[in-house]
A and B are shown apart, each in its own frame.
Chain A
Amino acid sequence: MATQTAFGAPPDGLHQGLRKKPLGRPGEMIVMALLTACAAVSVITTFLIVFVLFEETLGFFEEVSLADFFLSTEWQPLIGNEPTFGVWELVVGTLNVLIWSMVIALPLGLAAAIYLSEYAHPRTRRILKPILEALASVPTVVYAFFALTFVTQDILRPFLGTDQIGFFNALAASIMLAVMVLPTITSVSEDAMANVPRELREAAYGLGATRLEVATRIVVPAALSGIIAAVLLAVSRVIGETIIVAIAAGSTPNLTLDPRDTVQTMTGYMLQVGLGEAARGTVQYTSLFAIGATLFVMTFSLNVLAMWFVRRFREEYE
C-alpha cells in the first residue's frame, strides 16, 4: 500500500462535507491560518532547496567553466594549484555502484515479490513481509559497517584475492546498497502485483497455464508500470545514498565501471567536503552545491517518472 499513500489522491467528492461549511468563530480563523502555515512549510522547503542549490551553483560556475565541468574527465578539486572539475568521474562512480547494485537487487527483489504475491500462503506472507521490510528500517551506517568489516574483509578479499580487489571497492558498496533497496523493490512491486485483478489469473489458469506461467506472463506484465516505479524509486535511493559508498567504495575519483576498483560517487564527494568543513565562498564549498544540484536533478526526474508510472498503473485497474 506504500505507493498509494505516497502518491495517491483521494477521489474527488470524498468527504466534501467539511469543505462546504463556513468557518464558525473568529478563533477558528486563527487555527485555520495556523494549519495553512503548516502546509506552507513544505512548499517553502522546496523553494529553499532550489534556491540554495541554484545560488551556490551559480557561484561555482563563476569560477569553473561549464566546459571544464562537463567536458573534462578528471575530478581533482582539492588539489591546490590547478584543480579540475570534470563531473563525469563522479557520475561514473555513481553509475558503477548503481549498475552493480541493481544487477544484484533486481532479480532478488523481483523474485521475492513474485514469491510473496503469487506463491506464498497468506499466513506466510504476513510473517515474511514485515521481516523483509525491517531491512528498510536499518540505518545505512549499519550497512556501511557491514560492507567494510564483513563483505570486503571476510568475503571479497579472501575469495577474490587481495591483489584483485582493494580494501575500498565498488563491489562491497554495491552489495550492501542492494540489500538496502531490496525492501523498496520487493514491497512496491509486490503491492503492484497484488493489485492485478484476480480474474486475469483465473482466466490464465482456466486456459491451462501453470503457476509460473501465470506469474511471469500474466501478473508481471500486468503489474509492469508498478514494477518500473519500484525500480525507479530504488535507483533514486541508490544514487542518493551516501554513507555506504563513502565508507566502502573509498574516496578516489575513478573513471571506471569495474566493480573491483575504488570509486568516488557524487554523494561520496559531498561527504568528503562536509567532513573537511570547507570555508564559505571557496570553490570547494560551492562545488558541494554544484554536485548537489546535479544529484537533485537526477533524483527529482526519477521520482517524477516513478510517480507517473504509478499513476498510469492505477488508472489501468482501479
Chain B
Amino acid sequence: MAAAAPASLVSLRASGQLARRQFISRLSRYVFLGATLLAIGVLAFLVFDIVKQGGGRLSWDFLTTYPSRFAERAGVRAGLLGTIWVVGTTIVLTIPVGIGTAIWIEEFAPRNRLTQLVRLNIANLAGVPSIIYGILGLAFFVRFTELGSTILAAALTLSLMILPIMIITAQEAVRQVPPSIRDGSLALGATRLQTVWHHVLPGAVPGMATGAILAISRAAGETAALIMIGAAAFAAFDPTSINDKFSLLPIQIYGWIIAPRGQGFEANAAAGIIVMMMGILTLNLTAAIIRERFRRP
C-alpha cells in the first residue's frame, strides 16, 4: 500500500528505530503464541501417544480380569473396583465436612483472628504435598488407630488430602450468593440456619458441586500417598467392605510402569491410563457443564 502511494505524500509507516520496535513487537506475538501452543501440543501428543500404546490392549476382558504375570492376560478389575470403593468412601467422608466447614467459616464464624487463622491454615493444608498425607495416613490411620491398609484408611487419608480444595471452592460458592438474599430471608423472620438451608445452600450448590468433582478427580488419580499406606499394586480379589485390603487403578498402572521392560507391560500401563483418564475426563467435563449451566450472567 505504501509503495503505491505517491512519493509526495508523507508515509505513515514508521521508519528507523520505531520500525524496529514495532517489528520486534509484532514478532513477539508469535513467540508467545508459540510457547502457548507448545504446552497444548504436549497435551495433544500425550493423549495421542498413550492411545497409540494402549489402545490395542483395551477390551472388555481388560476391564474384567485380575492382574497376571503375562501382560496380555492381565486386567484392571481389582484396581478399578478398588478405586470405585476408595473414591466412593472418600466422597461420603469429604463432602459433608467440606460443606460444613465452608458454611461455618462464611456464615457463622466470628470475624476474629482465630477464624482468620483457621482460614490461613486451610490454604496452607492445600499446599502440603500428597506424600506427607501419605505418611500421616501410615502413622495415624494404618498404625496408630490400627485400621491397617484398608479401604477405610485410604479413604480417610484421601479425605484429609482433598478437604482443603473442597472447602476453598465451597467457600467461594457460598460467597457468590448475594447478601440481599440472606437479608430478605432474615427480614421475613427466618432463623439463621433456615436462611442457610433454604437460601444460601441452594444458591451455592453448583459451585460446590464443581469444586467437589475437581477435588474427587484429584483423589482418583492419587498414587504416592496410597503407596505409603500400603495399597497393593496387584491384587486378585474384589473388595467387599471398607475393611478390606485393596488395589487401585493408579497403583496398578505404577506397578506396570516399573515392571521389567519388553514383556508388554507398557501397553498395559497405557491401557490402564486410558481407563483412568476416561473416568477423570468425565468428572471434569461434568464439572465444566455444571459451571456453564449455572453461570451467573
Q: Which residues of A contact B (CB under 8 A)?
A: 5-7, 9-10, 12, 14-19, 21, 23-25, 28, 31-32, 34-39, 41-43, 45-46, 48-49, 52-53, 56, 107-109, 111-112, 114-116, 118-120, 128, 130-132, 134-135, 137-142, 144-146, 148-150, 179, 182, 186, 210-213, 215, 233, 236-237, 239-243, 246-247, 267, 270-271, 274-275, 277, 280, 288-289, 292, 295-296, 299-300, 302-304, 306-307
B128 proximal to A (CB < 8 A): yes
- Known contacts A45-B163, A211-B29, A271-B227, A115 near B108 by CB under 8 Å: no
Nearest B residue to A208, CB-CB: B18
Contact A186 B130 (CB under 8 A): no
What separation, in Å, do the CA atoms of A174 and B43 have in the docked complex? 16
Chain B contacts of A289 at CB under 8 A?
A: 135, 139
Contact B46 A142 (CB under 8 A): yes
Chain B contacts of A213 at CB under 8 A?
A: 21, 25
Contact A139 B124 (CB under 8 A): no
User: How distant is B247 from chain A, measured CB to nearest CB, in Å?
Assistant: 14
B143 proximal to A (CB < 8 A): yes
Contact A145 B135 (CB under 8 A): no
B254 proximal to A (CB < 8 A): yes
Contact B167 A17 (CB under 8 A): no
Query: B136 is contacted by which of A19, A52, A182, A275 (Cβ under 8 Å)?
Result: A52
- Known contacts A18-B192, A19-B110, A299-B128, A145 near B101 by CB under 8 Å: no
Contact B250 A277 (CB under 8 A): no
Q: Which of B30-50 contact A (CB under 8 A)?
A: 31-36, 38-40, 42-43, 46, 49-50
- Known contacts A142-B273, A212-B25, A42 near B167 by CB under 8 Å: yes
**How many interface residues does chain B have, given as a range?**
35 or more
Contact B46 A111 (CB under 8 A): no
Contact A150 B49 (CB under 8 A): yes
Nearest B residue to A24, CB-CB: B191
Chain A contacts of B221 at CB under 8 A?
A: 138-142
- Known contacts A49-B128, A145-B270, A267 near B224 by CB under 8 Å: yes
- Residue among A14, A112, A236 having the largest count of chain B Cβ atoms under 10 Å: A112
Query: A43 is contacted by which of B108, B118, B269 (Cβ under 8 Å)?
Result: B118
Ordered by A's residue number, 13 sampled pairs between the chains whose C-beta atoms are within 8 Å are A39-B109, A109-B39, A111-B32, A111-B36, A114-B32, A132-B40, A139-B280, A140-B221, A140-B224, A146-B49, A149-B270, A242-B224, A295-B131
9 A-B pairs besides A18-B182, A179-B39 with CB distance below 8 A are: A23-B191, A52-B135, A120-B36, A142-B46, A142-B221, A149-B257, A247-B257, A275-B227, A295-B131
Contact B35 A277 (CB under 8 A): no
Q: Which of B3-11, B65-73, B171-179, B234-242 sits within the interface?
A: B171-179
Chain A contacts of B97 at CB under 8 A?
A: 38, 41
What separation, in Å, do the CA atoms of A280 and B222 have in the docked complex? 24
What separation, in Å, do the CA atoms of A16 and B21 have in the docked complex? 53
Contact A148 B36 (CB under 8 A): no
User: How distant is A195 from chain B, measured CB to nearest CB, in Å?
Assistant: 17
Query: A119 is contacted by which of B22, B32, B276 (Cβ under 8 Å)?
Result: B32
Contact A39 B104 (CB under 8 A): yes
Chain B contacts of A36 at CB under 8 A?
A: 104, 108
Contact B125 A46 (CB under 8 A): yes
Q: Which of B223-259 contact A (CB under 8 A)?
A: 223-224, 227-228, 230, 250, 253-254, 257-258
Nearest A residue to B194, CB-CB: A24
